[in-house]
């Protein structure tokens, strides 16, 4: 409970609202700032298979704390790497990358995804669950599949491609399994988004029996079934249609289950060679059967994170024209949040200087139609190679940002909070703010803008924080409630009363 003296100061503050002619607080900055947290091969988390649950949780907290300290507002956590689970799934076995043995639960038992969601939200961070839709085993994996793995329970749906195992997208049941896995998480976990990457049909590998040629994906069985059922498409178009069907189903079914959950896709960064003119490189439309431009045009995703991992001036893959093209084909005005490769920041001829990433962020910000970015991958942030993390924190992330709103989903703002404030003086000024949520949908964040003289500062806090002690003797504060879709209430403005303790 506040002290009687503080209560008096609060009451005085509440009855002395800002004058109507006082300058309003600046518009709240908005930008999606996220990083992928990869679990496959223990890239980002956990640091090794079989780590004790206490150590797993400690590493997760370090990641979330680093994300907040750096200035991110979201993390994209890989929860299904190879038809396995980094959470307590009734559908797929525990991941070997988590416990050291596929199908074996953490001991002592806990649910990692529940932990990640609760701790991310406790820090005011959004969390998106990242799925590999069809991969069932990565190349070079050393673990043994459990008896509950899809390759053992439904081998008729799985194909061997090189040393990988792959759910066959041409099998309707395989697509249905992926859809069920996604919807299971949407129903049971309080995630803010669902995210799928660029692995649809597998990236081609060399055919050892035919030098210079690529190994054909072995879907003869499903292709024969499709032809027998009357499919009139050619094989390449049929493969693309298989992926299109899954993308559309995921987009539709997520919104039926939980409309506020965003659906995001991170396709390969080149739409097709020659799109835009002069661009060269890998053809995802032909090789991965990924018609990413169609998905964007149909509005099947709430956000697109094309992986623009090349340098700004890369010959054949120029950053700005590629960004412009993705925006150009975004007819439904969904979010464009490109993926940036901070993992390439390192010394050496092939490494990126931090200035490269800072320049890419500046270009994204300067381009209408792009409102954020996602960094790959998280481990580069604690590594702070070439002081990249410091440069992000002290540069483009110096001021916090809210995520952009998604008006096609929901525009209803949370209720205004009830605010009371007082400025007290110890050795230096401090503003004590108490915030209580309004009635209705819960807030996720508070934005607090404080004015000293002509200068405004912004801090963002989880809405679970109801009493805030901020340095500085503010002349005026402006506070808004924010929901998880970025919708903001009308601000509440208060002039704190100064008192000396």
CATH class of 32-394: alpha beta
Least-confidence region, from 116-130, 221-235, 419-433: 419-433
Dihedral over Cα of 48, 51, 55, 61: its sign: positive
Q: What is the pLDDT of residue 6?
A: 41
* Cα–Cα dist 143/104, whole Å: 12
* Cα–Cα dist 151/165, whole Å: 8
Choose between 471 and 79: higher pLDDT.
Answer: 79
Q: What is the pLDDT of residue 5?
A: 37
- Which overall architecture, per CATH, does domain 4-27+410-500 show? Sandwich (2.60)
Choose between 496 and 72: higher pLDDT.
Answer: 72
Q: Could you read off the pLDDT of 255-280 as tens digits, one per residue? A: 999 999 999 999 999 999 999 999 99
Domain definitions of the chain by residue range: 4-27+410-500, 32-394
Residue 8 in this model has a pLDDT that exceeds 50: no
Q: What is the pLDDT of residue 441?
A: 84
Residue 335 in this model has a pLDDT that exceeds 90: yes
Q: Could you read off the pLDDT of 154-210 as tens digits, one per residue? A: 999 999 999 999 999 999 999 999 999 999 999 999 999 999 999 999 999 999 999
Q: Could you read off the pLDDT of 21-37 as tens digits, one per residue? A: 566 899 999 999 999 99
* Cα–Cα dist 185/193, whole Å: 10
Q: What is the pLDDT of residue 10?
A: 37
Q: What is the pLDDT of residue 473?
A: 85
Q: Which is it for strands 164-167 and 135-137: parallel, antiparallel or unpaired?
A: antiparallel
Tokens found for residue 325:
């093209």
Model confidence band, residue 15 (pLDDT cutoffs 50, 70, 90): very low
Q: Could you read off the pLDDT of 142-162 as tens digits, one per residue? A: 999 999 999 999 999 999 999
Model confidence band, residue 490 (pLDDT cutoffs 50, 70, 90): very high
Query: What value does the mean pLDDT of the chain take?
Result: 94
Percent of the chain whose pLDDT exceeds 90:
90
Q: Which is it for strands 429-436 and 418-425: parallel, antiparallel or unpaired?
A: antiparallel
Q: What are the C-alpha distances in Å from 130 to residues 35, 54, 186, 402?
A: 11, 23, 12, 21
The answer to whether 401 and 29 are in contact (CB under 8 A) is yes
Least-confidence region, from 8-17, 37-46, 118-127, 157-166: 8-17
The SS3 assignment for 128 reads strand
The answer to whether 264 and 128 are in contact (CB under 8 A) is yes
Percent of the chain whose pLDDT exceeds 70:
94
């Amino acid at each position: 409970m506040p002290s009687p003296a503080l209560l008096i100061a609060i009451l005085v503050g509440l009855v002395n609202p800002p004058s109507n002619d006082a300058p309003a607080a600046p518009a709240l900055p908005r930008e999606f700032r996220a990083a992928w947290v990869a679990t496959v091969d223990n890239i980002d988390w956990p640091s090794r298979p079989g780590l004790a649950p206490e150590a797993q949780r400690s590493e997760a907290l370090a990641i979330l704390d680093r994300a907040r300290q750096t200035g991110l507002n979201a993390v994209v956590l890989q929860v299904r790497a190879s038809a396995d689970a980094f959470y307590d799934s009734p559908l797929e076995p525990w991941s070997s990358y988590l416990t050291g043995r596929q199908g074996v639960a953490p001991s002592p038992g806990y649910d990692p995804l529940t932990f990640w969601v609760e701790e991310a939200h406790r820090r005011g961070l959004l969390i998106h669950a990242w799925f590999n839709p069809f991969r069932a085993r990565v190349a070079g994996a050393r673990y043994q599949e459990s008896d509950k793995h899809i390759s053992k329970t439904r081998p008729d749906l799985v194909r061997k491609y090189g040393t990988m195992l792959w759910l066959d997208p041409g099998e309707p049941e395989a697509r249905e399994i992926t859809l069920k896995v996604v919807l299971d998480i949407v129903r049971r976990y309080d995630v803010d988004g669902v995210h799928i990457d660029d692995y649809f049909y597998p990236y081609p590998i060399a055919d050892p029996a035919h030098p210079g040629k690529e190994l054909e994906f072995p879907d003869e069985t499903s292709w024969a079934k499709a032809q027998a059922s009357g499919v009139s498409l050619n094989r390449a178009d049929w493969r693309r249609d298989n992926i299109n069907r899954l993308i559309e189903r995921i987009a539709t079914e997520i919104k039926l289950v939980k409309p506020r959950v965003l659906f995001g896709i991170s396709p390969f960064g080149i739409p097709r060679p020659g799109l835009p003119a002069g661009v060269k490189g890998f053809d995802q439309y032909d090789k991965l059967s990924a018609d990413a431009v169609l998905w964007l045009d149909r509005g099947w995703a709430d956000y697109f994170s094309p992986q623009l991992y090349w340098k700004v001036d890369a010959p054949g893959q120029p950053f700005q024209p590629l960004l412009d093209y993705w925006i150009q084909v975004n007819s439904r005005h969904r979010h464009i949040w490109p993926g940036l490769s901070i993992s390439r920041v390192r010394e050496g001829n092939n490494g990126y200087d931090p200035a490269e990433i800072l320049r890419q962020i500046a270009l994204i910000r300067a381009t209408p139609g792009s409102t954020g970015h996602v960094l790959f991958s998280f481990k580069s942030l604690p590594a702070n190679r070439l002081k990249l993390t410091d440069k992000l924190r002290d540069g483009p992330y110096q001021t916090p940002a809210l995520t952009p709103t998604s008006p096609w989903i929901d525009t209803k703002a949370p209720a205004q909070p009830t605010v009371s404030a007082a400025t007290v003086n110890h050795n230096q000024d401090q503003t004590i703010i108490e915030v209580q949520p309004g009635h209705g949908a819960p807030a996720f964040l508070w934005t607090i803008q404080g004015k000293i003289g002509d200068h405004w500062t912004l801090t963002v806090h989880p809405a679970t924080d109801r009493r805030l002690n901020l340095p500085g003797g503010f002349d005026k504060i402006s506070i808004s409630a924010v929901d998880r879709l970025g919708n903001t209430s009308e601000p509440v403005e208060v002039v704190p009363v100064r008192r000396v303790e």
